A and B are shown apart, each in its own frame.
Chain A
Amino acid sequence: MSDKLSKNELSPWPHRFAVSLVCATFPLIWVGGLVTTYDAGMAVPDWPSTYGYNLFLYPWQTWLFGPWDLFIEHGHRLLGALVGLITIGFVWSVWRHDSRRWMRGASLAVLGLVLLQGGLGGARVLMDQRQLAMIHGCVGPAFFGFGVALAVMTSNLWRAGITKPQTTPEMAGKLKRLSLTTLILIYVQLVLGAQVRHIPVTASPGTFRILVFFHLLMAIIVTVHIAQVYRSILRIYGSAPALRLPGYALGGLICIQISLGVQTWVVKYGWPAFLTESDFAAGHTINASSLSQSLTVTAHVAVGSLILAFAVMLYTRAARLFRTETTALGSGALMIGLAT
């Protein structure tokens, strides 16, 4: 496929839809995180209706002023519906304005994913299966990352192209590979995190211990990878603004994320016993369901997704900037990368 896109294809609409999709998905992930934090997943026992009402017709007074768990669960459903509608708009605009065949395919794929995600959410309620909640929690960030990729691929940067940063092909290849590995590692880390978070109360303490161990190990590995990405962007690609933003964001967010992770542990389980001799630990009482506890825990979840989003942004942009001429648009490799 050629790079020269006709005027018709340069419509801003697909990009606008993709960006709004990303912007609506981030709060959706927050609210979804709150649903789990407050264990509100079963606050509404039916689906797709809410206590027998159509989703959009549920009395808003009861929603806004009723119980808190019902408020967030129903709010999560409404936001989810909004994201679904934006996705439909995106598909429509792509089919109308974008002639790239793979892009059209991708738009259908994202629609499929949002339907799957909604269905998983519904099945979690209907079957009251916490394991489904966990899978639902893993597909969420994947969808978010997919949205970011679509936003990049419908952007001007992608279509008009920007002057390539000056590097050797080896360096370019290295950065591409490194950012793809980082992306995959981050996703695996999110899945591990979801398992730590959604551990069934019937699970054995040994299982939980293994999960926590892997989650911590992976935190170290991801951090090392992001540090490498950061370093190479700082050193070599300082001149490429398109890579600078996601690179710096990753560096900053991983620091925030690690401190949120530590805080999450402390607000839920307290300081480790070896700190008992220090005054702050001995006087510390955990406060269950306090606002600071639920915000910390949910922030840890949401920032995880944000890190994934920037990793996707970095990788897709790098893939585009350092496209090897032989692999047409690199889209095949991209799709494989995203599917992982």
Chain B
Amino acid sequence: MELPTRKAMKLSVIRHWFVSAVAVVALAGPMAGCSRNEATFNRNEAYVKNQERLTKETFSAERKADLDEVLSGLFGTPDRPIVPALGDIDVASVMDATKLHFAAGPVGRDERGRARGLYREHCAHCHGVTGDGGGPTALFLNPYPRDYRRGTFKFKSTPRQSKPTHEDLKRILIEGIPDTAMPSFRALPDNEIDALIHYVRYLSIRGESERSLVQYALFELEPADEEANIEEERLFDLTSGNRSDRAAELREYVGAIVQKWLGAEAEATAVAPPSWLANGAELSHEREVELLKHGRDLFYGKVAACVKCHGDSAIGDGQTTDYDDWAKELEPTVPGALDEYLALGRFVFPPRNVRPRNLRMGHYRGGRKPVDIYWRIFNGIDGTPMPALSEVLKQEGEEKIGVTHDDIWALVYYVRSLPYESISQPVAVEAAYQRERQ
């Protein structure tokens, strides 16, 4: 019999140990998960840290407990969401209790056979139970899943700083976001999409309220003063006499956020067609080439300065080291700061640079219709460096630096022609683009 060599023996021992180790990990893993049953909302530690660094104060453990208490009083838990009572504000049209019940909780059906847990079924493995973008799959995805708690959304018809309309959110859920992990949910029935939209708003409002309360505690409440032997003023104090005053004050903060959502519907940017298409006019080929030239001049010009970020040949290689607003909160450019944030634990992710879009691909995350591109250029992309040209809007013939409504349309035309423009021979409207428009 052939004796095994020493090397082969060693290898087989290593293999044996490896197999055993993996088997143990694989079989013990599920047991470890068994204990955690009830889903809970995560606290926004990164924002607390951010505000602590800003104010140079500390947010004590008691305050954190208070914060959790107040939030669960106002909003309930992931299994039992509550719609905060806000007097005469029409909360229900932003977050409706029945719809929240439909979307919240564990996946399944209730005793009456009605579906439940839509959010955990379809969204939470990316966006996290809290809506903090910290679902289990998050680290693999680029861009990271959206953290709703800032209340910032990218692809919408409303100006920067405004909330998206119901229609905007619906469009995202139905179309998905190409080139990102955000799926299209067109397979879901309308009432489920509707419930999910209400739940996204609920999580977003809850998250934004949390941020408001953190600020409130740091800016409005008395800090502890050891020398004067003054105890810290509590956010939520069962013993103090003015509890109902405090509660009313906190509700005002939440109310202000809900009002912003209520206002969104009226804020959508109405888009009139360009002057050359008014009254059903046709666009001649010569005029179109002219417009594309104009669009190109704007793209490379001083005012719109798209070239600064999107690059000399519009492939998205201009400004590539910037961050979006979510990442900026972790102060990635301040030496040493980032480590403090990352030390906060499992739900704070290393920031990544936001890349301007490669406009020669012809794929748009926020929709490819001309009006979608118009909204992106006019309103910018909220939460990202992509600026809004509405800031420099001027009227036709007005003598100041800026762009007109028609200029923006020329940019839209130009952007949409970029995939067909040859880099060496700019602004020749090529056959493909012609065909596509027909």
Among B183, B184, B358, the one with the most A-chain Cβ atoms within 10 Å of its Cβ is B183
Asked if A1 is at the interface of the complex by the 8 Å CB criterion, the answer is no
- Complex Cα distance A181/B22, Å? 13
Mark interface residues in B17-44 (1 if CB within 8 Å of A CB, else 0): 0010011011101100110110110000
- Which B residues lie within 8 Å of A203 (CB)? 33, 136
| Residues A188 and B22 in contact, CB atoms below 8 Å apart | yes
| Residues A286 and B136 in contact, CB atoms below 8 Å apart | no
| Residues B187 and A201 in contact, CB atoms below 8 Å apart | no
| Residues B136 and A45 in contact, CB atoms below 8 Å apart | no
| Residues B185 and A188 in contact, CB atoms below 8 Å apart | no
Q: What number of residue pairs across chains A and B have CB atoms under 8 A from each other?
A: 154
Q: Which of A90-98, A104-112, A277-285, A302-310 contacts B (4 or more CB under 8 A)?
A: A277-285
Q: 8 Å CB contacts to B: which residues of A237-289?
A: 269-270, 272-273, 276-277, 279, 281-289
Chain B residue nearest in CB terms to A289 = B187
Contact of B184 among A184, A191, A286 (CB under 8 A): A286
| Residues A202 and B39 in contact, CB atoms below 8 Å apart | yes
Q: How far is the CB of A339 from chain B (nearest CB, A)?
A: 13
- Which B residues lie within 8 Å of A276 (CB)? 179, 358
Asked if A211 is at the interface of the complex by the 8 Å CB criterion, the answer is yes
Mark interface residues in A286-298 (1 if CB within 8 Å of B CB, else 0): 1111100000000
| Residues B107 and A288 in contact, CB atoms below 8 Å apart | no
Among B37, B108, B142, the one with the most A-chain Cβ atoms within 10 Å of its Cβ is B108
Contact of A44 among B2, B107, B109 (CB under 8 A): B109
| Residues B30 and A135 in contact, CB atoms below 8 Å apart | yes
Q: 8 Å CB contacts to A: which residues of B164-187?
A: 175-187
| Residues B179 and A283 in contact, CB atoms below 8 Å apart | yes
Asked if A134 is at the interface of the complex by the 8 Å CB criterion, the answer is yes
| Residues B139 and A285 in contact, CB atoms below 8 Å apart | no
Contact of A128 among B27, B106, B180, B358 (CB under 8 A): B106
| Residues A204 and B347 in contact, CB atoms below 8 Å apart | yes
Q: How far is the CB of A222 from chain B (nearest CB, A)?
A: 11
Q: How far is the CB of A53 from chain B (nearest CB, A)?
A: 12
What is the number of residues of chain B that contact chain A, defined by CB distance less than 8 Å? Answer: 62
Asked if A170 is at the interface of the complex by the 8 Å CB criterion, the answer is yes
- Complex Cα distance A128/B106, Å? 8
Chain A residue nearest in CB terms to B38 = A202
- Which B residues lie within 8 Å of A316 (CB)? none
- Which B residues lie within 8 Å of A204 (CB)? 134, 136, 346-347
Q: How far is the CB of A47 from chain B (nearest CB, A)?
A: 12
Asked if A113 is at the interface of the complex by the 8 Å CB criterion, the answer is no
Asked if A218 is at the interface of the complex by the 8 Å CB criterion, the answer is yes
| Residues A290 and B176 in contact, CB atoms below 8 Å apart | no
Chain A residue nearest in CB terms to B358 = A277
Chain B residue nearest in CB terms to A276 = B179
Chain B residue nearest in CB terms to A211 = B29
Asked if A195 is at the interface of the complex by the 8 Å CB criterion, the answer is yes
Asked if B49 is at the interface of the complex by the 8 Å CB criterion, the answer is no
| Residues B108 and A290 in contact, CB atoms below 8 Å apart | no
- Which B residues lie within 8 Å of A208 (CB)? 136-137, 139-140
Contact of A191 among B27, B40, B129, B181 (CB under 8 A): B27
| Residues A286 and B182 in contact, CB atoms below 8 Å apart | yes
Mark interface residues in A215-242 (1 if CB within 8 Å of B CB, else 0): 0001000000000000000000000000
Q: Which of B117-125, B205-213, B248-256 contacts A (4 or more CB under 8 A)?
A: B117-125
Asked if B135 is at the interface of the complex by the 8 Å CB criterion, the answer is yes
Asked if B246 is at the interface of the complex by the 8 Å CB criterion, the answer is no
Asked whether A289 and B107 contact (CB < 8 A) given A185-B19, A195-B30, A204-B346, the answer is no
| Residues A281 and B179 in contact, CB atoms below 8 Å apart | yes
- Complex Cα distance A207/B183, Å? 23
Q: Which of A10-18, A23-31, A35-43 contacts B (4 or more CB under 8 A)?
A: A35-43
Q: 8 Å CB contacts to B: which residues of A124-170?
A: 128-129, 131, 134-135, 138, 170
- Which B residues lie within 8 Å of A289 (CB)? 122, 185, 187-188
Q: How far is the CB of A131 from chain B (nearest CB, A)?
A: 5
Asked if B15 is at the interface of the complex by the 8 Å CB criterion, the answer is yes
Asked if A214 is at the interface of the complex by the 8 Å CB criterion, the answer is yes
- Complex Cα distance A272/B23, Å? 29
Chain A residue nearest in CB terms to B179 = A282
- Complex Cα distance A200/B37, Å? 10
| Residues B30 and A131 in contact, CB atoms below 8 Å apart | yes
| Residues A285 and B135 in contact, CB atoms below 8 Å apart | no
- Which A residues lie within 8 Å of B179 (CB)? 270, 276, 281-285
- Which B residues lie within 8 Å of A195 (CB)? 26, 29-30
Asked if B287 is at the interface of the complex by the 8 Å CB criterion, the answer is no
- Which A residues lie within 8 Å of B117 (CB)? 42
Contact of B107 among A39, A67, A283, A286 (CB under 8 A): A39
Asked if B1 is at the interface of the complex by the 8 Å CB criterion, the answer is yes
Mark interface residues in A112-129 (1 if CB within 8 Å of B CB, else 0): 000000000000000011
| Residues B120 and A201 in contact, CB atoms below 8 Å apart | yes
| Residues A184 and B19 in contact, CB atoms below 8 Å apart | yes
- Complex Cα distance A10/B59, Å? 79
Mark interface residues in B277-310 (1 if CB within 8 Å of A CB, else 0): 0000000000000000000000000000000000
- Complex Cα distance A138/B15, Å? 23
Point out residues on B near A: beta carbons under 8 Å: 1-2, 15, 19, 22-23, 25-27, 29-30, 33-34, 36-37, 39-40, 106-111, 113, 115, 117, 120-122, 124-125, 128-129, 134-142, 175-188, 346-347, 349, 358, 361, 363
Q: Lowest 8 CB-CB distances: which A-B pairs, in order?
A: A42-B108, A273-B142, A208-B136, A288-B183, A286-B183, A204-B346, A201-B124, A205-B139
Point out residues on A near B: beta carbons under 8 Å: 39, 41-45, 51, 67, 69-70, 128-129, 131, 134-135, 138, 170, 181, 184-185, 188, 191-192, 195, 199-209, 211-212, 214, 218, 269-270, 272-273, 276-277, 279, 281-290
Taking A42-B117, A201-B39, A204-B346 as given, write out 4 further A-B residue pairs in contact, using a Cβ cutoff of 8 Å, ordered by the A residue number: A285-B184, A286-B184, A287-B186, A288-B188
Question: Could you name 13 residue pairs across A and B whose Cβ atoms are closer than 8 Å?
Answer: A138-B30, A200-B136, A202-B40, A203-B136, A204-B346, A205-B134, A205-B347, A214-B26, A218-B22, A273-B142, A282-B363, A283-B179, A285-B183
